[in-house]
Structure 1
Amino acid sequence: MSLKRISLPVFALLLVGFGMQQAQAHAHLKSQYPAAGADMTAAPQALTLNFSEGIEPGFSGLSLIGPDNAVIPTGKIKTDPANPAQIIVPIEKPLTAGSYQVQWHAVSVDGHKTQGDYRFNVK
């Protein structure tokens, strides 16, 4: 068997392995409360975001945008001590009826940044 025949499959495996490792190196949003697109009958008192890996709360954050496009005051981000992939952000004032947008950014423990947004409604 020639070196050329062995090298191609080994090279292909290395590429696949490297690609999989890179895909896991970012904190992706897995779930949130309120859920994206949710119609809430009671206004939430906090936002909870769950990521695919631990995040650095000091370098992560979110903005809550209200129905009038104004930024709604929120408290400081906290991580769950038992789950560094979860952040909890208290909402400082009760939300009124309307559509809200959450714009978030997260830095994973390995330094990679991700961002996104979603909406929910309060009736």
Structure 2
Amino acid sequence: MLQRLKNVIVATSFLAALIVSQQAFAHAHLASATPADKATISESPKMLTLTFTEGVEPKFSGVMLMGADGSMVHTGKFTVDSADNKVVNVPLTAPLKTGSYRVDWHVLSVDGHKTKGSYNFTLK
């Protein structure tokens, strides 16, 4: 009887862990970015490219670029790559000045989950 109870507890724990881990993967998380997080670059990028783990809905997603002083840097229109809805492009309308930058992003994945985050890079 005790062994059967142990087996039920182990099986239940395993199933609960499996369900929780699947939910964690059901959100669009930032997989990579160009410029990369914590990168130091020597040339101003022409575009920010963010790649997510799931496709994103462009109407409910966005990216903001902030300078070291906290001021917003004007960018072009946020677009989702037509060949891969996991890739987001944000053109820069003017060259960046030397300094630190923060990229703030928020996305709604195609399965309806919202996520947000930020990362930094430096232009020398």
TM-score using structure 1 length: 0.89
Q: Tell me the residue number matched to 1:43.
A: 44
C-alpha separation between the residues in 2 aligned to 1:8 and 1:39? 50
Deviation at 1:13, TM superposition (A): 3.2
Partner SS for 2:43: coil
1:66-106 CA-to-partner distances (Å, cap 9, x unmatched) read 13321111111111122111100111111111111111111
C-alpha separation between the residues in 1 aligned to 2:19 and 2:40? 41
C-alpha separation between the residues in 2 aligned to 1:63 and 1:50? 15
Change over 3 Å in CA distance of 1:53–1:3 after alignment to 2: same
Deviation at 1:117, TM superposition (A): 0.9
Deviation at 1:4, TM superposition (A): 5.0
**RMSD of Structure 2 on Structure 1 (CA):** 1.8
Say how many residue pairs are matched. Answer: 123
Moved more, 69-78 or 12-21: 12-21
Partner SS for 1:92: coil
Partner SS for 2:85: strand
Partner SS for 1:83: coil
Partner SS for 1:84: coil
Structure 2, unmatched stretches of 5+, are none
C-alpha separation between the residues in 2 aligned to 1:91 and 1:41? 16
Q: Tell me the residue number matched to 1:100.
A: 101
TM-score using structure 2 length: 0.88
Deviation at 1:17, TM superposition (A): 2.1
Structure 1, unmatched stretches of 5+, are none
Moved more, 8-17 or 105-114: 8-17
Alignment pair present for 1:12 and 2:3: no
C-alpha separation between the residues in 2 aligned to 1:69 and 1:13? 45
1:96-122 CA-to-partner distances (Å, cap 9, x unmatched) read 111111111111111111111111111
